[in-house]
Structure 1
Amino acid sequence: RRQAEAGRIREKYPDRIPVIVEKAERSDIPDIDKKKYLVPADLTVGQFVYVVRKRIKLSAEKAIFVFVKNTLPPTVVRLICFLVSDAAALMSAIYEENRDEDGFLYMTYSGENTFGSPFLLA
C-alpha cells in the first residue's frame, strides 16, 4: 500500500521526497505532530532537521540526533547519524542512497545518541 502511495507521490511531484519521521523509542524528546512529509529534493538535511526541531518545539540549546534506517541489504540495518558536517547533504542524495523498498525515506530522531556510535555519511 505504501509503495503505491510513494509511486503516486513521486509521479505527481517528481521534485519532492516522501519522508516519514518518527521519534526513537524510549527517547524523552517531544513527539512530532506530523509524521509524513513531502520534502523538496534540493532541501538540505540541516534545513529538514530545522523543520523537525520546529515541529517538536525543541529549544535551541537542546541536541537532536537524526537517523536514517537503511534496510538494504534486507538483512542489515544501518543507522546513520547526521552530524554537523553532513548538514549540507541534499535530501535527494539521502533519499537515493537510503530509501526503503516501499519508496519512502524513514528518519528517526532522538534527543540523545540512542544508537551508540553513529556511522558517518561519506
Structure 2
Amino acid sequence: LDKNKYLVPSDLTVGQFYFLIRRRIQLRAEEALFFFVDDTIPPTSVTMGALFDEHHDTDGFLYIAYSDESVYG
C-alpha cells in the first residue's frame, strides 16, 4: 500500500473498505484479500466505527493487518 494510515468514515462497512483497498492495490479478481483485527477476520457488514470502538489500541488507532492470496494456488 502507498499509505499506512487511512482516515475513513465511521459508517463505512468493512466490505466497503475491502473494495477501497482492493482498488488501491489493484488486485486481480483471482486474488483474495483478507483483513485481520486482533487475529480474527471481521465481518464485512460491521462498520469501521463499531470495529474501532471494540478493537482500537491505547494510542487511538485501529490496527488492521492484511494478506492477499491467489485463490488458484
Measured against the shorter chain, the TM-score band is: 0.7 to 0.9
Q: Which has more strand, going by share of residues?
A: 1
Higher relative contact order (CA 8 A, sep 6+): 2
Tell me the TM-score normalized by structure 2: 0.87
> What is the Cα-based RMSD across aligned positions, in Å?
1.1
Tell me the TM-score normalized by structure 1: 0.54
Task: Indicate the structure (1 or 2) with the bigger Cα radius of gyration.
Answer: 1
1:13-35 CA-to-partner distances (Å, cap 9, x unmatched) read xxxxxxxxxxxxxxxxxxx1111
Which runs of 5 or more residues in structure 1 are unaligned? 1-31, 70-78, 113-122
**CA distance in 2: counterparts of 1:46 and 1:108, whole angstroms:** 15
1:43 aligns with 2:15: no
1:48-105 CA-to-partner distances (Å, cap 9, x unmatched) read 1111111111112211110013xxxxxxxxx1113xxx11111111000000000000
Segments ≥4 residues shifted beyond 3 Å: none
**CA distance in 2: counterparts of 1:105 and 1:57, whole angstroms:** 23
Counterparts of 1:1-122 in structure 2, within 5 Å, are 32-69=1-38, 79-82=39-42, 86-112=43-69
Aligned residues: 69
Which runs of 5 or more residues in structure 2 are unaligned? none
